[in-house]
């Protein structure tokens, strides 16, 4: 049985409050273990002293996620899949968002192959304070030729992003592994026909492997247990991804059954699941736009329901943007509001005559305000006040945004309204209008009440800036 509270984890710690883990108390460290921001190896007494050996082993077992965590790739761009403990996000959170690999083939011309791989590797979309990326490349062996596959792998590996090797031919997979030693690719796939040879490759090269049994959960579980018993631990499951009709319904049901069984304690099937939305291109849809649309719809279905890694094809923005945005949204931690650092930001190139505004550090609020200002060419200073990631209206009502908090934020930012600008004026959000009097008293500055919606800031500035003396 797993442990889910700091108090339960605390029982297994030295309870000396030595501080060697970087935390003031063992209870604080226990909290980090529960939310996975800390590891047992950070507690040096627990690691070094033999008297804690049994407690360490038991604690590691109790903290291990229900679904095994598997790593694909190496270095900074290596990705983790699996690692979840719950069926529903509101019960804790989902860890390790769905990883998206886009395909190339070993029959592509060299220039086209390199261009597509670079497009995949360089994809970047700024979204609420972070860059959304595509995670890796799936190299499909269309030729079934080990030499051609090896050449394609060499070209892709030069870019340095995680890879999936796709072939049912063990000789082809081996050629790819020889071409990219130490790259830790994911092998796709072992099935009832080639399981012995592919399993041996996974053991020899110490790489993760996909076990595949299309719409046959009994065979899938049997193959998985065989691999596990043989010493292959980093396994990914492929129950099949049908693109339409009853087959798609069966695929959806199989994903649910596998994940539910894993979370409920069936360790023989508690592994990450691979989804294949790119099968939309094999469903008989001739129009590429329609195929892209259906691929995106399939990606949405299996992102929401337990697809830990998926292989896709279309790189069109109307396909990729919904896919990466949905994954980011589903895997946002509901326990922690998304927030920016509490500090003074410069929008554009402000000077001593530029306006000074503040808002909360809730990321969605901050980036909405910042976007409305920058897109309209308003050079200004924008202070993000620490409200624990809560929006303006709720923070004012709940006491997270007060005149004292705003004054404290100005002081911590090192910004002085009396010396850094020549107007000693600050603009408050319209939803925080009730703070105007207190702010004037605390800051010793003139306070203008801005609009209720930051989209109206350009019109507000035209009428009210510069402020009247």
- Rounded Cα distance between 443 and 112, Å, is 60
Given its phi and psi angles, is residue 399 left (phi above 0), alpha (psi -120 to 50 degrees) or beta?
left
HSE-CB for 180 with a 13 A CA cutoff: 30
Backbone angles phi and psi of 416, in degrees to 5:
-115, 115
Tokens of 256: 């649910």
- Rounded Cα distance between 272 and 287, Å, is 32
Annotated binding site: 18, 21, 26, 43, 359, 365, 389-392, 454
Where are the extended beta strands (E) located within 195-304? Answer: 209-212, 235-238, 274-275
Which single residue is written with the structure tokens 């060499």? 154
- Rounded Cα distance between 135 and 123, Å, is 9
Pairing of strands 186-190, 380-385: unpaired
The C-alpha angle 82, 84, 85, rounded to 5 degrees, equals 155
Where are the extended beta strands (E) located within 155-308? Answer: 163-166, 186-190, 209-212, 235-238, 274-275
HSE-CB for 19 with a 13 A CA cutoff: 1
Backbone angles phi and psi of 145, in degrees to 5:
-110, 115
Which single residue is written with the structure tokens 């026909």? 193
Annotated binding site for [4Fe-4S] cluster: 18, 21, 26, 43
CA distances from 48 to 54, 60, 347, 348, 420 (A): 12, 15, 50, 52, 53
Residues 30 and 10 sit within 8 Å (Cβ to Cβ): yes
- Rounded Cα distance between 200 and 177, Å, is 12
- Rounded Cα distance between 321 and 133, Å, is 10
- Rounded Cα distance between 365 and 358, Å, is 11
Annotated binding site for 5-methoxybenzimidazolylcob(I)amide: 359, 365, 389-392, 454
């Amino acid at each position: 049985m797993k442990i889910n509270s700091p108090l339960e984890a605390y029982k297994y710690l030295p309870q000396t409050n030595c501080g060697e883990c970087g935390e003031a108390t063992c209870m604080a460290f226990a909290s980090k273990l529960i939310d996975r921001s800390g590891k047992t190896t950070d507690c040096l007494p627990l690691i070094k002293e033999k008297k804690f050996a049994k407690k360490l082993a038991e604690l590691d077992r109790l903290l291990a996620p229900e679904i095994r965590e598997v790593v694909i790739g190496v270095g900074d761009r290596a990705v983790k899949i699996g690692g979840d403990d719950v069926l529903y996000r509101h019960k804790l959170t989902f860890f390790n968002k769905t990883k998206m690999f886009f395909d190339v083939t070993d029959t592509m011309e060299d220039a086209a192959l390199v261009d597509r791989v670079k497009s995949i590797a360089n994809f970047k979309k700024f979204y609420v304070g972070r860059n959304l990326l595509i995670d890796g490349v799936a190299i499909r062996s269309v030729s079934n030729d080990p030499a051609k596959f090896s050449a394609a792998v060499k070209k892709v590996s030069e870019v340095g992003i995680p890879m999936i090797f796709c072939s049912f031919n063990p000789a082809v997979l081996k050629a790819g592994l020889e071409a990219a030693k130490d790259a830790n690719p994911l092998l796709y796939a072992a099935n009832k026909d080639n399981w012995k040879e592919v399993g041996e490759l996974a053991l020899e090269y110490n790489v993760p492997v996909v076990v595949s049994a299309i719409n046959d959960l009994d065979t899938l579980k049997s193959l998985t247990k065989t691999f596990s018993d043989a010493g292959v631990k980093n396994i990914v499951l492929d129950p099949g991804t049908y693109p339409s009709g009853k087959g798609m319904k069966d695929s959806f049901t199989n994903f649910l059954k596998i994940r539910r069984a894993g979370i409920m304690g069936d360790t023989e099937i508690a592994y990450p699941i691979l989804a294949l939305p790119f099968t939309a291109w094999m469903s008989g849809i001739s129009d590429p736009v329609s195929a892209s649309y259906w691929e995106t719809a399939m990606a949405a279905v299996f992102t929401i329901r337990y697809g830990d890694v998926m292989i896709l094809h279309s790189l069109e923005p109307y396909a990729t943007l919904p896919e990466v945005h949905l994954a980011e949204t589903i895997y946002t931690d509901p326990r922690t509001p998304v927030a920016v650092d509490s500090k003074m930001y410069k929008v554009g190139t402000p000077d001593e005559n530029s306006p000074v505004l503040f808002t909360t550090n809730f990321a969605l609020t901050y980036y909405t305000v910042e976007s409305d200002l920058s897109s309209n060419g308003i050079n200004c200073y924008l202070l993000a006040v620490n409200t624990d990631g809560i929006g303006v209206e709720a923070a004012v009502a709940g006491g997270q945004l007060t005149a004292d908090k705003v004054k404290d934020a100005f002081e911590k930012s090192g910004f002085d309204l009396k010396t850094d600008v020549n107007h000693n004026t600050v603009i408050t959000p319209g939803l925080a209008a009730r703070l105007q009097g207190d702010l004037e008293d605390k800051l010793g500055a003139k306070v203008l009440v801005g609009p209720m919606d930051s989209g109206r800031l350009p019109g507000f500035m035209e009428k009210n800036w510069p402020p009247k003396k």
